Copies of this chain bind each other. A is one copy, B any other.
Amino acid sequence: MADKNKLQRKTGIILALDVTDEASALEITAAVADLVDAVKIGYPLVLGTGLSIVSKLSKYAPVIADFKVADIPNTDHLICEHVFKAGCAAVIVQGFTGPDSLSECVKTATAFDGKVFVVSEMSHPGGSYFFTDEISKEIAGLSRKYGAFGIVAPATRPERVKELRAVIGDDLKIISPGVGAQGGSAADTIKAGADWVIVGRSIYNAENPRDEAMKVKVEIEKLI
């Protein structure tokens, strides 16, 4: 079983495993496991394979369930229970659903010694339509208040990572999607205050995923 404490490191890579079949998911994870601190999976994979894939992936690396949990507290609780019973190290939830939903997710995660990351701002173009600067900061503040482990902030906008870091101080971690194929730079994102960069396509679509992961790792380690 992978060491869940990997998620205590200061900086590193999280692999966004946005493939949809189990064989590829396991093969890519095995190839890069020692270069990444966690793998992040979402519903497109889990709806095809079932949550049983978590225990298989966990042999290589801690698994983060990127389920963008966005429901009423009781349903959030039941979803998080599934996540942690399946063996995930952490879950990603939306903060937009309010303080009671957020605190219920943290409470459930804590009961399983698991962690919660809260989406403070999304990386796609329409993501800022409702996630205004003010709302993003408010979500980051609530994440700190209710004991989340970290927040999610976009590598595609490092200036926003910096602003959100100012809101949460050093109490929470920041994980940042959008590095690589989406245009974000690993070095710039870490410099802006992220603890982990989340890299997907540029690793899992590479002819040699391990070489690509190594490149990002070298880029990050130059900064430490």
Binding site for B on A (CB under 8 A): 18, 20, 42-44, 46-48, 50-51, 67-68, 70-73, 75, 78-79, 82, 94-102, 122-131, 135, 138-139
Contact = CB atoms under 8 A, between A and B. Distances in A.
Contacts of A123: 72
B127 A78 contact: no
Contacts of A102: 126
B135 A130 contact: yes
Nearest first, the 8 closest Cβ-Cβ pairs linking A and B are: A98-B126, A100-B126, A44-B78, A98-B129, A70-B70, A72-B124, A47-B82, A96-B130
Q: Copy number of this protein in the oligomer? A: 2
Nearest to A102: B126
A222 to B, nearest CB: 29
Among A46, A94, A97, A100: residue with most chain B CB under 10 A: A97
A99 B72 contact: no
B47 A79 contact: yes
A75 B44 contact: yes
A48 B94 CA distance: 22
A127 B131 CA distance: 15
A124 B100 contact: yes
A43 B91 CA distance: 14
A75 B122 CA distance: 13
